[in-house]
């Protein structure tokens, strides 16, 4: 007798009839059941499958599922399966996820798991990645996102009860949060180490921990347009000065160049030369630095920026299992995607990357911070847009010495278009700007010890506290047309003057400004090894300035690509009278505007002098007389038009996905000329499938089985592009998305959709073989709803 073949209708009935006919003896029914079991592989006495819970994870989620979800942020949907009626785990368990937004199926729905089928345990544990069926989605802003999970959609597992296989989770909210802007700078640390490796601090690696735990819609983590920051002082005695320099980059770099100011600036040191691992300028703050030591650099970055968010040190653990949705920490430490509830929160001091993740306090603090609010700023890449509150200000920087209680001020800088430091009611220092006739022009309170505790981690006592804390205060350069004659910093309790800056009698004078080409970054003699990292050609700017009062001078050097409409700082807080930089690190001049401009500002304290010169980089004398022999080269032909910085964040190299899984492809892109790149700048293709989509992040579920090389191309407005690739594998899996319209029933509407796309691809291609044909029709009819 021939074994029955599948037919469009009544497959199981036909099979049972064939078995009854084939059976002999008594009782025939038991033999028929045994026959069906033998042919289908189903257990004789079935248990039951159902969904016990659905967890929506974006890094942290409370045990009750009440943590706010962020729209646009990749979300892991983790489905726990309840296995009852048996004592052993159940193999071959899979599910389909349907998602509706405001009552309409989400693009890409239904979704297939990225790890199924699994062997479902009797007691699933969230700490075990494959104890749950896992899906990936990206939801838009909505207060009505509904999830529906259908367990065992192909009926591969014989169950005692099929009616409980559908699980619903309704009316979930995905809230709007902003795209946050963080600019990072490579610190060229000349006392030892030079610059950190570029691959260590680039997007997707340096910011990997941060991306995993802080709830933004997107993160615009990019290099500053100023190039590397050269630092020649011992970091353990110049940490406060470095923080002030980083803050100055934030206050001037992006807005001066005509773009949004980043929320934070982060500096990367080579290795770990700083005794405290890293430091933030304040709690809260806007600038920080840290190490690039392989075992800790990713957590240090997230920790120090946590201080900038306003978080202090804690001793807390996670309390619940954390989840690295995009598995950023697979590189370089190959850490697991799940994080045990016993791990420490990121704000515990002194930890390695593998010891920490995020708990509810840290997650919620960022989630609810006004700087993370949707619409807080309108800039397309995050950051602050120009405000009427931005004014010219005097930037007071230095160190607060905790042992003496005194403040040591550096030479102040005068900055344009910045926000004045707000009054802090908890402050212990009173800052007052006073006119020459004694009139009080401005007064605020400032807190002196917000970052006193070391981030190295230690037992309370010696070594736990920094000897000094950074000072960074912005006061108005004038009030009602009057400039301050002096600025006083007083202890509020005692009235003692802690520091004072007095305007001297004479304004500094800039004598000469000019440049010398340095094709390989060598010093002026042409001897020795190149002194700079990066790619040439290089330009050495030189200037000379005098001050009749004998005051110490400090210079800020800015460059304009567009004739003075916007400015990009080349160097800040310079005490030397020269600075060398690479043309590859700054944007090329705009075509049609003419050559760029260089702006030199020299401060002696409360006075300053400005000079503008063309960026032809020949020596220039403000009196009109060129410096003999050096009024040289026209560098207009040496400018480099740089391709965009493009990085492929997700997936990781070597990842494997079962066929039909929604694979998240996530890119980062920034450009010296265009800055934050729009979705249209990113295109994706597969070595097998060809073009597969456009956008900064997309979900792709249509890849056929095989080894795929995924190529990301990011293109800027000038047509220059950068490509990145990653190799992944798609393994074969049989998928039956028979309910084409996700209505919950296989009926005439599904049949109409299939027939309308006959011999096409996509809709109706139930078996994912690339064409809608008779095999798909057979599968649809076999599941027809009576």
Q: Which range is least confidently modeled, 191-200, 221-230, 451-460?
A: 451-460
Work out the pLDDT band at 418, boundaries 50, 70, 90: confident
- When comparing pLDDT for 25 and 335, which is higher? 335
- pLDDT tens profile 691-710: 999 999 999 999 999 999 99
- Say yes or no to pLDDT of 407 above 70: yes
Work out the pLDDT band at 259, boundaries 50, 70, 90: low
- Say yes or no to pLDDT of 36 above 50: no
Q: Which range is least confidently modeled, 361-370, 620-629, 651-660?
A: 620-629
Contact call for residues 97 and 71 (beta carbons, < 8 A):
no
- Say yes or no to pLDDT of 81 above 80: yes
Work out the pLDDT band at 254, boundaries 50, 70, 90: low
Work out the pLDDT band at 518, boundaries 50, 70, 90: low
Phi, psi dihedral angles at 168 (to 5 degrees): -120, 140
Mean pLDDT of 430-434: 96
- Say yes or no to pLDDT of 523 above 70: no
Residue 159 has what pLDDT? 92
- pLDDT tens profile 203-215: 999 999 999 999 9
Q: Which range is least confidently modeled, 24-38, 126-140, 467-481, 667-681?
A: 24-38
- The tokens for 466 are 């920094």
- Say yes or no to pLDDT of 486 above 60: yes
Of 601, 599, 594, residue with least CA distance to 634: 594
- When comparing pLDDT for 371 and 622, which is higher? 371
Residue 211 has what pLDDT? 97
Mean pLDDT of 47-75: 96
Residue 535 has what pLDDT? 56
Mean pLDDT of 766-785: 79
Mean pLDDT of 523-529: 39
- When comparing pLDDT for 413 and 366, which is higher? 366
What does 4-41 look like in DSSP terms, one character per residue? Answer: PPP-SS-HHHHHHHHHHHH--SS-HHHHHHHHHHHHH-
Taking the model in full, what pTM does it have?
Answer: 0.78
Contact call for residues 128 and 120 (beta carbons, < 8 A):
no
CA-to-CA separations, 642 to 584, 587, 674, 722, in angstroms, rounded: 7, 7, 11, 10
- Say yes or no to pLDDT of 45 above 80: no
- Say yes or no to pLDDT of 257 above 80: no
- Say yes or no to pLDDT of 458 above 70: no
Residue 273 has what pLDDT? 96
- The tokens for 646 are 């493009």
Measured between alpha carbons, how far is 410 from 432 in angstroms, rounded to an integer?
17
- When comparing pLDDT for 375 and 97, which is higher? 97
Contact call for residues 69 and 139 (beta carbons, < 8 A):
yes
Mean pLDDT of 570-582: 80
Mean pLDDT of 495-507: 94
Dihedral of CA 586/592/594/600: which sign?
A: negative
- Say yes or no to pLDDT of 409 above 70: yes
- Say yes or no to pLDDT of 2 above 60: no
Q: Which of 15-19, 281-285, 374-378, 519-523 has maximum average pLDDT?
A: 281-285
- Residue whose tokens read 């201080």: 307
- Say yes or no to pLDDT of 16 above 70: no
- pLDDT tens profile 176-201: 999 999 999 999 999 988 999 999 99
- Residue whose tokens read 């020299």: 602
Q: How far apart are the first and last CA of the chain?
A: 30
Phi, psi dihedral angles at 222 (to 5 degrees): -150, 160
Q: What secondary structure letter does DSSP report for 371?
A: G
Dihedral of CA 197/200/204/210: which sign?
A: negative
- pLDDT tens profile 296-314: 999 999 999 999 999 999 9
Contact call for residues 496 and 403 (beta carbons, < 8 A):
no
Query: What's the mean pLDDT when you consider all of the chain?
Result: 84
Residue 501 has what pLDDT? 94
Q: Which of 194-203, 378-387, 772-781 has maximum average pLDDT?
A: 194-203
Work out the pLDDT band at 232, boundaries 50, 70, 90: confident
Mean pLDDT of 567-596: 73
Q: Are strands 663-671 and 697-700 parallel, antiparallel or unpaired?
A: antiparallel
Of 198, 208, 233, 194, residue with least CA distance to 297: 208
Mean pLDDT of 490-506: 94
Dihedral of CA 270/398/553/416: which sign?
A: positive
- When comparing pLDDT for 678 and 9, which is higher? 678
- Say yes or no to pLDDT of 620 above 70: no
Work out the pLDDT band at 133, boundaries 50, 70, 90: very high
CA angle 506, 512, 516 (to 5 degrees): 150
Residues whose CB is less than 8 angstroms from the CB of residue 515 and which lie 6 or more positions away in sequence, other chains included = 539, 540, 541, 542, 617, 618, 619, 635
Measured between alpha carbons, how far is 553 from 197 in angstroms, rounded to an integer?
33
Work out the pLDDT band at 392, boundaries 50, 70, 90: confident
- The tokens for 626 are 């060129």
């Amino acid at each position: 007798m021939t074994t029955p073949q599948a037919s469009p209708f009544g497959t199981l009935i036909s099979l049972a009839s064939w078995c009854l006919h084939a059976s002999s003896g008594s009782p025939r029914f038991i033999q028929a059941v045994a026959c069906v079991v033998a042919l289908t592989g189903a257990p004789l006495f079935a248990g039951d499958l159902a969904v016990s819970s659905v967890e929506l994870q974006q890094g942290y989620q409370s045990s009750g599922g009440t943590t706010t979800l962020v729209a646009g942020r990749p979300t892991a949907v983790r489905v726990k399966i309840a296995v009852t009626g048996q004592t052993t785990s159940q193999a071959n368990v899979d599910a389909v996820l349907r998602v509706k937004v405001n009552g309409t199926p989400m693009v890409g729905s239904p979704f297939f798991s990225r790890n199924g089928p699994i062997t479902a345990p009797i007691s699933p544990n969230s700490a075990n990645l494959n104890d749950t069926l896992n899906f990936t989605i990206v939801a838009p802003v909505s207060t009505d996102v509904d999830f529906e999970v259908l367990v065992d959609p192909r009926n591969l597992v014989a169950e005692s009860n099929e009616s409980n296989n559908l699980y619903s989770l309704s009316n979930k909210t995905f809230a709007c949060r902003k795209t946050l802007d963080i600019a990072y700078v490579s610190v060229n640390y000349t006392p030892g180490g030079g610059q950190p490796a570029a691959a260590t601090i680039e997007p997707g690696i340096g910011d990997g921990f941060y991306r995993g735990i802080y709830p933004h819609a997107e993160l615009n983590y990019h290099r500053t347009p100023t190039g590397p920051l050269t630092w020649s002082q011992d970091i353990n005695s110049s940490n406060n000065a470095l923080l002030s320099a980083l803050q100055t980059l934030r206050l001037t770099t992006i807005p001066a160049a005509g773009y949004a100011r980043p929320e934070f600036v982060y500096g990367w040191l080579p290795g770990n030369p700083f005794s405290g691992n890293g430091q933030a300028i304040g709690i809260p703050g806007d600038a920080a630095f840290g190490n690039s030591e392989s075992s800790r650099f990713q957590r240090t970055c997230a920790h120090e920026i946590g201080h900038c968010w306003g978080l202090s040190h804690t001793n807390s653990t996670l309390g619940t299992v954390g989840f690295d949705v995009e598995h950023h920490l697979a590189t370089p430490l190959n850490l697991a995607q799940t994080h045990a509830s016993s791990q420490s929160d990121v704000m515990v001091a002194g930890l390695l990357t593998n010891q920490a993740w995020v708990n509810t306090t840290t997650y919620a603090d960022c989630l609810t911070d006004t700087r993370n609010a949707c619409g807080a700023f309108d800039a397309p890449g995050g950051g602050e847009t120009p405000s009427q509150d931005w004014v010219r200000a005097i930037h007071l920087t230095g160190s607060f010495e905790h042992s003496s209680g005194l403040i040591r001020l550096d030479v102040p800088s005068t900055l344009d278009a910045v926000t004045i430091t707000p009054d802090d009611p908890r402050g212990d220092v009173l800052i007052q700007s006073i006119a020459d006739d004694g009139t009080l022009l401005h007064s605020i309170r400032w807190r002196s010890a917000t970052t006193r505790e070391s981030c190295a981690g230690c037992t309370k006592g010696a070594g736990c506290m920094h000897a000094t804390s950074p000072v960074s205060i912005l006061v108005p350069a004038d009030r009602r047309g009057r400039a301050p004659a002096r600025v006083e910093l007083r202890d509020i309790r005692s009235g003692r003057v802690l520091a004072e800056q007095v305007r001297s009698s004479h304004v500094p004078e800039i004598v000469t400004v000019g440049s010398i080409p340095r094709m390989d970054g060598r010093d002026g003699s042409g001897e020795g090894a190149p002194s700079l990292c990066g790619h040439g050609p290089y330009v050495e700017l030189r200037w000379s300035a005098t001050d009749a009062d004998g005051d110490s001078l400090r210079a800020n050097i800015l460059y304009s690509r567009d004739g003075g409409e916007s400015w990009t700082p080349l160097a800040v807080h310079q005490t030397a009278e020269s600075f060398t930089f690479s043309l590859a690190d700054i944007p090329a001049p705009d075509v049609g505007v003419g050559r760029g401009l260089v702006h030199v500002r020299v401060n002696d304290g409360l006075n300053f002098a400005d000079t503008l010169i063309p960026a032809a980089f020949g020596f220039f004398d403000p009196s009109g007389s060129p410096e003999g022999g050096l009024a040289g080269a026209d560098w207009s032909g040496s400018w480099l038009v740089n391709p965009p910085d493009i990085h492929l964040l997700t997936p990781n190299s070597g990842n494997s996905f079962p066929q039909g899984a929604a694979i998240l492809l996530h890119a980062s892109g920034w450009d010296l000329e265009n800055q934050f790149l729009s979705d249209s700048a990113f295109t994706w293709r597969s070595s097998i499938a060809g073009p597969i989509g456009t956008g900064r992040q997309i979900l792709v579920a249509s890849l056929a089985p095989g080894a795929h090389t995924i190529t990301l191309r990011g293109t800027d407005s000038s047509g220059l592009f950068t490509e990145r690739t990653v190799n992944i594998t798609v393994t074969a899996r049989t998928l039956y998305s028979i309910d084409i319209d996700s209505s919950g029933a296989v009926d005439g509407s599904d049949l109409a959709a299939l027939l309308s796309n006959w011999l096409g691809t996509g809709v109706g291609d139930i078996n994912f073989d690339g064409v809608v044909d008779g095999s798909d029709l057979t599968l649809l009819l076999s599941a027809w709803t009576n």
